[in-house]
Amino acid sequence: MSRVLVVDDDVQLLRALRITLRAAGHEVVTAPDGAAALREAAAAHPDVVVLDLGLPDLDGTEVLAGLRPWFTGPVLVLSARSDSRDKVDALDAGADDYVTKPFDMDELLARLRSLLRRRSDAPAEPVVVTDHFTVDLAARQVTVDGVPVRLTPTEWALLSELVRAPGRLVGQKQLLQSVWGPAYERETNYLRVYTAQLRRKLEPDPAHPRYLHTEPGMGYRFTP
| Residue numbers at the binding site for DNA (CB under 7 A) | 150, 152-155, 172, 180, 187-193, 195-196, 199-200, 206-207, 214, 216-218
- The partner in contact with residue 22, picked from DNA, a copy of itself, none with C-beta cut-offs of 5 to 8 angstroms by kind, is none
175 touching a copy of itself, by CB under 8 A: no
Span from 15-23, 28-36, 80-88, 197-205 in contact with a copy of itself (CB under 8 A):
80-88
- The 3 state secondary structure assigned to the chain is CCEEEEECCCHHHHHHHHHHHHHCCCEEEEECCHHHHHHHHHHHCCCEEEEECECCCCEHHHHHHHHCCCCCCCEEEEECCCCHHHHHHHHHCCCCEEEECCCCHHHHHHHHHHHHHHCCCCCCCCEEECCCEEEECCCCEEEECCEEECCCHHHHHHHHHHHCCCCCEEEHHHHHHHHCCHHHCCCHHHHHHHHHHHHHHHCCCCCCCCCEEEECCCEEEECC
- Which residues touch 120 (CB under 8 Å, ≥6 apart)? none
107 touching a copy of itself, by CB under 8 A: yes
d(CA 198, CA 77): 44
Span from 9-17, 27-35, 86-94, 203-211 in contact with a copy of itself (CB under 8 A):
86-94
**Of 132, 140, 192, 200, the one binding a copy of itself by CB under 8 A:** 140
- Counting residues that bind a copy of itself (by CB under 8 A) gives 41
Q: Which is nearer to DNA, 20 or 174 (CB)?
A: 174
161 touching a copy of itself, by CB under 8 A: no
Give which of 164, 184, 163, 160 is closest to 172, Cα–Cα.
184
Q: Do 48 and 75 meet the contact criterion of CB atoms below 8 Å apart?
A: yes
x-or-dash string of contact with a copy of itself, 120-139, rule CB under 8 A: xxx-x-------------xx
207 touching a copy of itself, by CB under 8 A: no
Q: Which is nearer to a copy of itself, 32 or 219 (CB)?
A: 219
CB of 148 to a copy of itself, least distance (A): 8
Q: Which is nearer to a copy of itself, 41 or 77 (CB)?
A: 77
Residues lying near a copy of itself in the complex (CB under 8 A): 72, 74, 84-85, 87-88, 91-92, 95-98, 104, 106-107, 109-111, 113-114, 118, 120-122, 124, 138-141, 150, 152-153, 156, 167-169, 215-218, 221
